[in-house]
Amino acid sequence: MTTTNTDIRQHLKNRIAELENKRKALEEKKVKILSSLADNARQLDALKTVYESEAGRFGEISAPLFKQGEESYRFAGMKVGEALRIIRDEQPQITREEATKILQEGGFDFKGKRPISAVHFAFVAQDRERKRKENGYYVKQTG
């Protein structure tokens, strides 16, 4: 029984060329998509600016928005407790995990602290402050 060697180099060259062409087409689509995304972001920013202006003109109170570069974020320069107080006023039944997620997605600067721990301790402090106030021996705490 004799074996014959089959030369598959031509098949491999064809397959490589096919994949390179496909990659080139995908790269071209990527450039178009990124351009479309950039256009969309500019339009969205413009509409948000106009909306905020109109909301202010009609007396709608909005949460504080601040700019950091091109991005707006809600809790700029605040301490964890201050930001959390706003969130808990809006959503009294919110959990620590949900509040942490809102702060992280909102671009909150935890200043090197672990987000879940910072939110936990702020929750504890606020709950303690609320109990003191309810029991009649309220002393305002800062932070």
Q: Is the dihedral of CA 31, 68, 105, 56 positive or negative?
A: negative
Walk along the chain (143 residues) and give the pLDDT tens digit of each residue.
667 788 899 999 999 999 999 999 999 999 999 999 989 988 888 887 787 778 777 766 554 444 445 555 667 778 889 889 988 888 889 999 999 998 888 778 888 889 999 999 999 999 998 888 888 765 555 55
CB 80 within 8 A of CB 122: yes
Query: 74-83, pLDDT tens digit by residue?
Result: 677 788 898 8
Residue 84 CB partners (closer than 8 Å, separation 6+): 99, 103, 119, 122, 123, 126
CB 92 within 8 A of CB 76: no
Q: How far, in Å, CA of 40 to CA of 100, rounded?
A: 29
DSSP 74: S
Q: How far, in Å, CA of 116 to CA of 113, rounded?
A: 9
Residue 68 CB partners (closer than 8 Å, separation 6+): 76, 107
DSSP 140: P
* pLDDT for 66: 47
* pLDDT for 64: 46
Q: How far, in Å, CA of 97 to CA of 107, rounded?
A: 16
Query: Residue 8, class by beta-carbon neighbours within 10 Å (0-12 exposed, 13-18 middle, 19+ buried)?
Result: exposed
pTM: 0.45
